[in-house]
Each structure stands twice: as C-alpha cells, then as structure tokens.
Amino acid sequence: MKIFLTGGSGFVGGALLRRLVADGHQVLALARTQSAAQQVEAAGAVAVRGDLTDLTSPDGTPWATHLQGVDVVVHTAAHMEFWGPDALFERRNHAPTLALHAAGVAARVRRFVLVSAASVSTGSQRRPVVDESTPEGRPNTAYSRVKLATERALLAAPAGSTELVILRPPFVWGAGMATIQGFVDAAEAGRFAWIDHGRHTVDAIHVNNLIAAVVLALTRGRGIYHVTDGAPMPIRDLLTPLLATQGIDLTRSRSVPLAVAAPLAAVLDTAARLLRRPTAPPLTRWLVSFTGRDRSYDITAARRDLGYEPSISFAAGLAQMTTP
C-alpha cells in the first residue's frame, strides 16, 4: 500500500512510520525541515519536503502532487499545547488539515485517517464515561476546541470516493513521550499536587496500541472511534509509575480537594487569558478536568468496526520505559 504520512518525525508519527515500513508499505512522509527529512529517510520512508501551512515544496512546486497514486493519507501532525488562543490552532491545525483532506479527495485517495484527540469532550461535558454518541459539550482548551471544529468540518466536507476515519486517543504514553515533561517540571519545582488524592479515573493509550489502531484504520471502519488501552485507572496509579521512570517520586505529594482546585483554576485561567499571558498558569481548567474528574472512553465501536484490541499492557509499557 502507498501511504502519505504527516508527523513522521514526531512521537506518534515516528512510531507509526517505523511500523508501516516494517509492514512493507511504501511511505511518503511530509518533512518541514532538513533534519526531519533525514529522520524519516533513515526510517525507510521517502521524504517530501513541505509545510502543512503551505501546499508547496521549498522549490515552489506543489508538494500535494505527491498524493497522486496514494492509497491512504494518515494525518498525525499537529501543534499541541494546552494553552494559547484559538486563532493559533486554527492557523496551524485546522486550516492545514482541511486543505490536506481536500487535496487527498482531489487526488482520489481511498482513505483519510486523522489522529484527533479524546480531549474534544474535556470541558463542559462531565459524564464519567463517554462514547462516540455522547455530546461533546464545549472543550476547555483551544487545542481541543479546534480539534472538534476540524472533525466536524471534515465530516461535512465533500469527500468524493475518499473514506474518512477519525481516531480519538486520550493521553498517549510510552518511551519517548514528551507530554510527561510538564508533570516532571511541576514536581521538581514543588508545584505538583493531587486533586482528591489522585483517586479520579483517567484513560490512556500506549503509543503502540494507538499505532495498531491506525494500521487497522487503513482498511477498516468509517467515522469516529475512541481508542484506549481499555484499562482506565485512578490518575495516581497512572502518573506515579510513569514519573518514577523519570526519577520523580510522587508518593508524598500533597493533595487539594476538587472544591478548592476548581474555582481557583477558573480564577487563574481567566486572569491569565485576560492578561494574554503567553504561558499557562500553574492550575488551569484543563488540568482540573484531567486530574480531578472521572473520565474514561468506551471503545466498543473500535473493537466492533476496526477489530481493535489493545495488546500492550500498562506493565509491559512501563517495562519498555525502564529498559536501557
């Protein structure tokens, strides 16, 4: 199969690239910089120089011409931060995704697979368990609001013969993850605290389980699917061993009640936005939602339509992170 991949030099995209090459697929990987091009070529892909915000290559030719003859476009690239204005994510994520999808449709690719985010329902939606039929509510970060707007726009966009699959992973973890660094920094600075002693349920997905779901989506399913490790747990049980792999001990961390954390986050969050702070305050509405409220995702649809079944357990993934 001939596959066009974005984000091939990133955490998820890089793991996917290696899997696709190992499976014998011909992979074209978009590379914004020379170093990214070298990285994807070293992994066995053909580098296509270009930027998602501009459908031309450095020499001025449209890089979208490389979509001709492609079977599947897999879009993993995204600017991901849990702070910033909507306009930033609309410019870096929303508009490029719609343009890439339109180019894929014009090239008559068979499938377009988008790696979105389960956080599109993190905000005003307070149900402890959600599935694809659950109303998303209003997400409480620009990243998630724009991801949701992008999903809706793609579902409504002209598609011709191109089938669309949208995967919604929650917290993606595994060796090489970067999202853990914020928790490490907070702990090292003495700012880390549990909410309600870390008892609230969270869901996560090991990067290799996410890659397995993407591989299945190359030929199966249509529409939106939540994909997780299928093992929701108290956030204390997730973060304590994860940060231990980075030399951080959370066992003696203090705790604050949700009744205190939620209003404090609202005040700090609002003040920082009004003052247009470039960085997030130490406590935000998103952080309270993630660590202070029960949330897991029903993956029945992914199991049924994609044949998805998580294969990497939490213990096995941790072992990979601690193996030299």
Half-sphere exposure of 84 toward its Cβ, with a 13 Å CA cutoff? 16
Alpha carbon separation from 81 to 147, 153, 179, 227, 265 (Å, rounded): 12, 21, 9, 21, 17
Q: In whole angstroms, give the CA distance from residue 97 to residue 78.
A: 9
SS3 207: helix
Q: In whole angstroms, give the CA distance from residue 25 to residue 215.
A: 11
- In this structure, the chain runs to a length of 324
DSSP string over 247-280:
T---TT--EE-HHHHHHHHHHHHHHHHHTT-SS-
Q: In whole angstroms, give the CA distance from residue 233 to residue 173.
A: 14
Active site residue 297: no
Centroid of chain to Cα 112? 16
What are the φ and ψ backbone dihedral angles of 147, each rounded to 5 degrees? -60, -45
Residues with a catalytic annotation lie at 143
